[in-house]
A = this chain, B = another copy of it.
Amino acid sequence: MYNIKEIINTVIEGDTIEELKKIPSNSIDMIFADPPYFMQTSGVLLRSEGTEFQGVDDDWDKFNNLKHYDAFCTNWLKECQRVLTKDGTIWVIGSFQNIYRIGYILQDLDFWILNDIVWSKPNPVPNFRGTRFTNANETIIWCSKSKSSKYTFNYKTMKSINGGKQMKSVWDIGICIGSERLKDEDGKKIHNTQKPEKLLENIVLSSTKMGDIVLDCFFGTGTTGSVSKKLSRNFIGIEKEKEYVDVSIERINNTKILPVDEYINGELDIKPKRVPMSSLIEKGMLNIGDTLYNKDKSVKTVIKDETGYVDLPNGDLTSIHKSSGFFQNKTNHNGWEYWYVVQENNLVSINTLRERYREKYL
């Protein structure tokens, strides 16, 4: 069994399942997995001008049949579930050839699907023969370890990155080409399925915090490691092929850690400490007997006890939240934004008092 501290920010050369078995349980915050797709391609595919299209024809993508592929995936996904912390999440990318096997197995293992992200490619490989729609998408399934996991999702960070709108499950990202694509001395691509960094940036920024441990058990050229380093996360890579291990280590060594900004440190998603009404009363910022008003003073109530409960017209005692809901005839309620109090002849929001409390005492 590995000591987790000794394998952090390293690439382990070895078989995915064998190496996963050596990682301690409940030690990994997030996993990204880009397994073999089992493309089941056969023969050569020619472009219309007669040249040969270089698709995925690697030995690592060969399986005897779907059932073998299922067994393989069940094995490594079980180990992934074991090594994840209880609130950890896993992302698995695939295409129509394999993603239905992956999704089915994930559900059978009681992973809980949070989203299925569509990687929509503006520049996909066209369908050379005109036999189908251009296959312009891959799917990334995002799951928590279990239904009850309190997973990390940096909602406001992603909303801000997305120009102030909720980020959707469809991501338009170009395939990995140009200078980002790793090539050997002859200019030949080193790996057939290198993923674009933008894809991993979205994944890492949305589902991890600074300092988290990200595991990629099909490391390839190390995109996950490089992006994790850039964004001040820790990574662990597992990769079977020595050639890829060497390439990824060099790539990560050449990667610079970015200056920490509000997206990287996730400050937009830090939740302020909770403040109960009783704390304001305890500090004398509010008092039992104080009258609370809504903004236009058309509604009022009185603080009745040290917990901050107020009275309703029928005499019931209840929280500032329930009471604000009652007076607005709504089922929800945020009393902090509804109620005001008169202090020194000014109408002051109790939310303002809460902010003062946080500044002074937290």
Contacts and interface: CB of A to CB of B under 8 A. Distances in A.
Interface residues of A, number: 56
Count of identical protomers in the assembly: 2
B114 A52 contact: no
B136 A170 contact: yes
A158 interface: yes
Interface string A5-24: 00000000000000000000
Contact of A155 (B131, B139, B330, B332): B131
B332 A48 contact: yes
Interface in A108-156: 108, 113-118, 120, 124, 126-127, 130-137, 139, 141, 153, 155-156
Interface string A275-307: 000000000000000000000000000000000
Instruction: Tell me what chain A mostly uses at the interface: helix, strand, loop, or mixed.
Output: mixed
A164 interface: no
9 contacts: A44-B331, A50-B333, A66-B108, A96-B141, A115-B132, A118-B120, A133-B166, A133-B168, A135-B169
Given A50-B333, A51-B330, A115-B135, 19 more contacts: A44-B331, A49-B330, A52-B331, A96-B116, A97-B113, A99-B100, A99-B103, A100-B103, A100-B141, A101-B104, A103-B104, A116-B139, A118-B170, A132-B153, A133-B166, A133-B168, A134-B167, A134-B168, A137-B170
